[in-house]
Structure 1
Amino acid sequence: MRYFQLHRLLPAAALLLVACSSDEQPEQTDAPPPEVEVMRVVPGPVEHIIELPGRVQAVRVAEIRARVNGIIQRRLYEEGTDVEAGTPLFQIDPREMQANLNAAKATLQRAQATARNAAQDLKRYEGLVAKRAISQQEYDTAVAQLRTAEADVAQAQASVESAELNLEYTRVESPIEGRAGRAQVTEGALVTATEGTLLTTVEQFDPVQVSFAQSSSDLLALRAQVASGALQLPERGQVPVRLLLEDGSEYPQTGYIDFLAMTIDESTGTVALRAEVPNPDHLLLPGQFVRARINAGTRPRAIAIPQRAVIVGDNSASVKLVGDDDQVSTRTVELGPLQGSRWLIRSGLEEGDVIIVEGGQNARDGQPVRTKPWEPPAEAAEDEPAPR
């Protein structure tokens, strides 16, 4: 009897356990679509920036050399200081030049006395030849003597001027304003004009010149874009240049291209360019390495997207788009140069496309997503060079 009752209770207990276990399981619900931040592609004017390495050069360099023979008496400047045009730099022993000047002046005085005497003789002969007291030949001889004496005076005067110049050259002055370099001679050194002994150099640092080179193929492509209208040159033909220093900081002053060579270097296949940059604080020094960012014009309808929106692979680049049905798709794009925090897109995107900027790693192709507008960080917006 007990076996019969237990046999009837076992199925009921099993049903009760199944019901309890099913009540404890949570209800299965679908996960919400991932949220992504998107932006709409809008073409606009974008500056075409070319970045090239360059070297700083002094805009003017004066080599101070000896113009007379002599012994250096004194150095009149402090090495490494700024000097004005006409600042005395060296003093060469002037005594020999002073003696030569005195001798030249004496020769001039003798020639002047001879010329005055010849002029008086000629004046007397004029009255005598009129009275036929002397022959015409004697009168002509007096005229020739006066002309010879006047020529001697002119020659002696030139010798005096030359001696005065040599005396002035004993005081060596700077021909330009700039920074005087290290002295190449010391007191007591013999310098000569024939060898042009180098005494020092003076370099002008404000402004400075930056020299760099661009490949001929890139220059040809640039001209083709200008001719087709894809690139518009700056107004008034002025091409601005910004410099990046060796530590990565940007130099505060803006320069402009002032020279473009019309020949191609056969050994390198490049074209030489040069920019003139203000340097009021002397932050740029000759020989310094910099990177020049050249604003070579504006692309009137270029597409620039944030760098974080681009997926760069080994051989290609792509972006993720959101269609009208809020589904994700991937599209391959051709990248142009990177400007700041934006990629220029040469092909692959069109106006009106919606691309994913943030959250794309959670979105798969064909999957629906929830979208919200992407807003660039404040610091990135300040550094953004393009679009303007």
Structure 2
Amino acid sequence: MRGFLSCLFVMLALAACGNGDQNGAPGGEPGMPGGAPPVSVSVPLKSEIIEWDEYTGRFEAVESVDIQARVSGYLESIHYEDGQLVKKGDLLFVIDPRPFEAVVERAEAEVERAEARVQYTTTEARRAEELVGRGNISREQFDLRVQERSQALAELDAMRADLKTARLDLEFTRIKAPVGGRISDNFVSVGNLVAGGNTNATVLTRIVSLNPIYFVFDGSESAYLNYQRLQQAGDRPSSRDAENPVQIRLSDEKDFMHTGYMDFVDNRVDPNTGTIRGRAVVENTDYFLTPGVFGRMRLRGRDPYDGLLLPDSAIMADQSLRLVYVVGPDNVIAPRPVVPGPMYRGLRIIRDGLADGDRVVLDGLMMLRPGMPVAPQDGAVTFNDQQGGTR
């Protein structure tokens, strides 16, 4: 029995030695321990790229007007339903017009009296001119008649101005929509006394226009400088000079369904936040978009160009550097620094560091070391729109 166990121990030891010779020796079969590991390799995908930069912002009305009373009085009636769409010129409120009608009638009477006064003084001045010519009255008396006529004419002009003001005040009792859009609820109920004038006037409601609508956002200083460099290089016109296209999606949307164009960039970078304000115009013919709604906007970063793309899994991070493994002619890998850009249809744009024909390792990077031989396996780089990115 003891001899049998000794023989079995020797056979197991020999078997172990045999496996070590096959699997542990350098230059073994690919895929086996100690041999060149298999890796998926492909050249970068070359495609026409349209870069988009994303920003967060909100929609704002092109016109937002607080409807205020211009004359004081009691609110007599309201002529709209809360939240309805109104057109420019629609009647909204009526302030009790009776006191203003009385003022107009009094002003009209004052104008008639002033006209009569002018007629009388004109006749007197004409008669005085004839009498002074014959020497029947003194020159001083003639001048007095002419002066009285001039005063009457001035009083008539003043009375007519008062009548015009009174008629304006009467017109202001009928408050109409200065712009078209969606109106809010009434802030003051019928029967309340409202204050008019230029200061401390009562706000009755608010109207916001809906079509078109603004999308307002803040961009970083670095993004602004990048756009300035692109303009200098002729790669992209400034949004101050060109209607660069934008696409917007709402918080509950997966795709950028709303389109528009840039129409304004502010004239300064805010020193407190390091951002600059931009604005886009979006068509809103169905009035679906509402001022104050949050959205994500993407702005064309540069004109279309041919570029190289890789999946993020092929890119390593080494502190501030980004590296890829490139397979040489002898199937030995070497690290290559690259400059990555934004995502595009699920792939990472490679701005610099690679050429069209470079063979790049796509996966298993954590198991590799510089100068290691590998067994390349044909891979492919394809778009993956499900992962998002600009498109």
TM class, shorter-length = 0.7 to 0.9
Gaps in structure 2 of 5+ consecutive residues: 1-28, 32-36
Is contact 1:234–1:297 with CA below 8 Å preserved after alignment?
A: no
**What residue number does 2:108 align with?**
105
TM-score scaled by length of structure 2? 0.79
Aligned equivalent of 1:237, options 242, 250, 261: 242
* 1:349 corresponds to: 354
Matches within 5 A, 1:1-388: 38-42=42-46, 45-194=48-197, 195-228=200-233, 231-233=235-237, 237-298=242-303, 300=305, 302-307=307-312, 309-310=314-315, 318-319=323-324, 321=326, 323-324=328-329, 331=336, 333-355=338-360, 366-371=373-378, 376=383, 385=390
- Structure 2 residue matching 1:119: 3-state secondary structure: helix
Change (3 A) 1:37 1:380: farther
Is the 8 Å Cα contact of residues 242 and 262 (structure 2) preserved in structure 1?
no
* Structure-2 change in CA distance of 1:67 and 1:269 (3 Å): same
Q: Return 284-293 or 312-321, whichever deviates more.
A: 312-321
Q: Give a deviation string over 1:148-190, Cα, whole Å, max 9, x none.
A: 1111111111111111111110010011111111111000110
CA deviation digits over 1:240-269, x for unaligned, max 9?
221121124334332222221222212111
- Residue 16 of structure 2 corresponds to none
Q: Shift of residue 234 of structure 1?
A: 7.2
Change (3 A) 1:75 1:37: farther
CA contact (8 A) 2:249 2:257 kept: no
Specify the SS of the correspondent of 1:176: coil
Measured after TM superposition, the shift of residue 316 of structure 1 is 6.3
Instruction: Tell me if the contact between 1:321 and 1:353 (Cα under 8 Å) persists in the aligned partners.
Output: yes
Q: Distance in 1 between matches of 2:389 and 2:298?
A: 14
- Give the partner amino acid of 1:63: D
Which secondary structure does the structure 1 equivalent of 2:374 belong to? coil
C-alpha distance 314-217 of structure 1, shift in aligned 2 (>3 A): closer
Distance of 2:126 and 2:232 partners within structure 1: 82
Q: How many residues end up aligned between the 2 structures? A: 354
Over the aligned positions, Cα root-mean-square deviation in angstroms equals: 3.3
**Paired AA for residue 346 in structure 1:** R
Change (3 A) 1:373 1:345: closer
Helix, strand or coil at the partner of 1:268: coil
Shift of residue 303, structure 1, vs aligned partner: 2.5
Asked whether the 8 Å contact 1:232–1:299 carries over to 2, the reply is: no
Larger Rg: 1
Aligned-pair identity in percent equals 29
TM-score (norm 1): 0.79
